[in-house]
């Protein structure tokens, strides 16, 4: 039943799209912290919103099981109905958007949040959408005091926090030149990806030209000074002996999101000031960012077997060949299990498959024992630092954990965060206790090895 609510900011958080594949897991994760006195959670009021109240009621029952579902308000909102979105956003401090693909459905939600002065987080992994929102709305969001942060899921917080974690291991005078992330997905059962992620990838191929046009139309961002030459492209298939993986380049959003954070850090060397932060936090923020060093960054998908990598190559070829035409895209989206060798299916994984899946993301950093002695554009790296992030299944477990922890930080530490604007997650949440919160909720951050490379 839809519960009427007064037209005011009555809620700490509203989850939009909670009945979707990812959204229902976000609801389940959020319920763990609703009025949780054990964790001193700042989440005191929560509502669900979407087009179909009946489906949201079913989601709430599923997410609450085996307990009785709490009496959460269920609100009607439709991304095709801007007035309903604006009314919704005026009722909440923070909106968590789980309605994708975001290039199709995200724009009006961001617009409504900014008009209402509401903060916004999502789990988007689409560079075109994120960069377009920044281009269109950054100024307006700053004025409205609306903090808009995309990629607050597996895309791209592990990459951002993992890069930062590796970068902070390079104590002076050492300096990194490049950090390469290797993602390894593991499971005792088959691994089934989120269909929404696959649909976003298909649309990303279709709109690659628009992304390039957008980037060319915008002013060039500041580029960090990185000791040594840029890394070479290398072979298409790599065997990374240090971590025992075969790997191929992964065209995810992670690398572009990390670069956006590094550009923002170059423009703001002490990070982004909070809306009402204390002198103590100012010092903490400045000290934190002083330990983060820029480096070239890339992401690869890894497998312990060469056969596993060939499977990823087949998926990439299918997307590249068919994603550029309307007919090809219709085939990909109609028969994802065929063109991804069963890796993506419209039905999604079973609960058993979700529970059995894990990830490891290795960060292999190469750099110099003394960065000051290396002129830009020359020099061979002589030091290697390997770190790793591990955690549960990426799409339905890790992503909700990350999104909810970012939401809790935003609710409880809003005065330490920027007043408003459109940003990637790293530059916003980097100096907070996000890493510690993720570690308390199933993820680990480890230093694996530090060694000097042969001359």
pLDDT digits (tens, 9 = 90+) for 119-159: 999 999 999 999 999 999 999 999 999 999 999 999 999 99
- CA dihedral over 380, 447, 429, 399, signed as positive or negative: positive
- Is pLDDT above 80 for 71? yes
| Interval 233-262: pLDDT, tens | 878 899 999 999 999 998 889 999 999 999
Alpha helices in 145-223, H assignment, sequence order: 157-167, 195-206, 208-217
Mean pLDDT of 265-281: 96
* pLDDT level of residue 344 (50, 70, 90 thresholds): confident
Q: What would the two tokens of residue 439 be?
A: 């570690």
Instruction: Give the rounded percent of residues in the chain with a pLDDT score beyond 70.
Output: 97
Helix, strand or coil, per DSSP, at residue 398 = helix
- Range of lowest pLDDT (32-36, 45-49, 346-350): 346-350
Give the chain's count of helices (H) and strands (E): 18, 14
User: Are 431 and 289 contacting, i.e. CB atoms less than 8 angstroms apart?
Assistant: yes
- Range of lowest pLDDT (49-53, 97-101, 109-113, 248-252): 248-252
* pLDDT level of residue 6 (50, 70, 90 thresholds): very low
* pLDDT level of residue 1 (50, 70, 90 thresholds): very low
| Interval 410-442: pLDDT, tens | 999 999 999 999 999 999 999 999 999 999 999
Nearest to 183 by CA among 398, 356, 351, 432: 398
Q: Which residues, at least 6 apart from 279, have a Cβ–Cβ distance to it below 8 Å?
A: none
Integer Cα distance of 89 and 103 in angstroms: 20
Radius of gyration of the chain (CA): 22
Question: What mean pLDDT value characterizes the chain?
Answer: 92
* pLDDT level of residue 378 (50, 70, 90 thresholds): low
Q: What would the two tokens of residue 60 be?
A: 């709430």
* pLDDT level of residue 207 (50, 70, 90 thresholds): confident
- Is pLDDT above 80 for 347? no
Alpha helices in 117-174, H assignment, sequence order: 127-144, 157-167
Nearest to 448 by CA among 383, 367, 362, 366: 362
User: Are 345 and 336 contacting, i.e. CB atoms less than 8 angstroms apart?
Assistant: yes
Q: What was the pLDDT predicted at 376? A: 52
**Preceding peptide of 101 cis, ω within 30°:** yes
Q: What was the pLDDT predicted at 375? A: 62
Q: What was the pLDDT predicted at 5? A: 42
Q: Which residues, at least 6 apart from 325, have a Cβ–Cβ distance to it below 8 Å?
A: none
* pLDDT level of residue 408 (50, 70, 90 thresholds): very high
Alpha helices in 229-325, H assignment, sequence order: 254-267, 279-290, 306-322
Integer Cα distance of 441 and 399 in angstroms: 12
- Range of lowest pLDDT (1-10, 65-74, 216-225, 364-373): 1-10
User: Are 41 and 35 contacting, i.e. CB atoms less than 8 angstroms apart?
Assistant: yes
Mean pLDDT of 315-341: 88
Q: What would the two tokens of residue 434 be?
A: 């996000």
Q: What would the two tokens of residue 16 be?
A: 């939009």
Integer Cα distance of 393 and 408 in angstroms: 21
Nearest to 248 by CA among 337, 151, 181: 181
Mean pLDDT of 40-48: 96
> How many CB atoms neighbour CB 5 within 10 A?
16
Q: What was the pLDDT predicted at 4? A: 41
Nearest to 422 by CA among 224, 210, 272, 294: 272
């Amino acid at each position: 039943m839809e519960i009427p609510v007064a037209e005011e900011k009555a809620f700490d958080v509203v989850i939009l799209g909670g009945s979707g594949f990812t959204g229902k897991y976000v609801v389940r994760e959020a319920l763990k912290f609703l009025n949780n006195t054990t964790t001193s959670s700042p989440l005191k009021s929560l509502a669900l919103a979407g087009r179909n109240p009946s489906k949201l009621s079913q989601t709430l029952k599923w997410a609450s099981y085996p307990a009785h579902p709490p009496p959460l308000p269920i609100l009607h909102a439709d991304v095709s109905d801007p007035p309903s979105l604006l009314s919704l956003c005026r009722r909440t401090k923070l909106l968590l958007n789980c309605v994708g693909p975001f290039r199709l459905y995200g724009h009006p939600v961001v617009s409504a949040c900014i008009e209402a002065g509401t903060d916004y987080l999502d789990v988007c992994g689409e560079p075109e959408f994120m960069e377009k929102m920044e281009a269109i709305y950054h100024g307006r969001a700053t004025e409205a005091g609306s903090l808009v942060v995309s990629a607050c899921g597996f895309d791209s917080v592990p990459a951002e926090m993992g890069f930062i974690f590796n970068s902070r291991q390079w104590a002076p005078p050492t300096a990194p030149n490049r950090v390469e992330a290797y993602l390894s997905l593991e499971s005792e059962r088959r691994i089934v990806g989120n269909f929404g992620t696959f649909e976003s990838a298909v649309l990303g191929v279709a709109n690659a030209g628009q992304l390039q046009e957008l980037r060319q139309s915008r002013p060039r961002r500041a580029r960090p000074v990185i000791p040594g030459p840029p890394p070479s492209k290398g072979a298409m298939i790599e065997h990374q002996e240090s971590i025992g993986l075969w790997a191929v380049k992964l065209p995810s959003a992670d690398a572009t999101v990390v670069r956006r954070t590094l550009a923002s850090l170059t423009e703001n060397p002490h990070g982004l000031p909070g809306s009402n932060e204390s002198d103590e936090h100012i010092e903490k923020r400045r000290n934190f960012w002083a330990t983060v060093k820029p480096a070239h960054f890339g992401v690869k998908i890894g497998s312990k077997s060469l056969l596993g990598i060939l499977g990823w190559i087949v998926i990439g070829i299918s997307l590249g060949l068919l994603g550029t035409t309307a007919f090809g895209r219709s085939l990909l989206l109609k028969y994802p299990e065929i063109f991804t060798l069963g890796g993506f299916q419209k039905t999604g994984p079973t609960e058993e498959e979700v529970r059995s899946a894990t990830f490891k993301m290795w960060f292999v950093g190469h750099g110099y024992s003394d960065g000051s002695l290396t002129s830009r554009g020359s020099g061979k790296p002589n030091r290697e630092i390997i770190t790793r992030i591990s955690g549960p299944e990426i799409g339905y477990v890790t992503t909700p954990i990350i999104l909810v922890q970012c939401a809790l930080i935003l609710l409880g530490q809003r005065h330490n965060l920027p007043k408003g604007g459109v940003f990637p997650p790293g530059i916003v949440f980097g100096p907070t206790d996000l890493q510690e919160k993720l570690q308390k909720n199933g993820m680990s951050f480890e230093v694996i090895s530090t060694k000097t490379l042969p001359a």
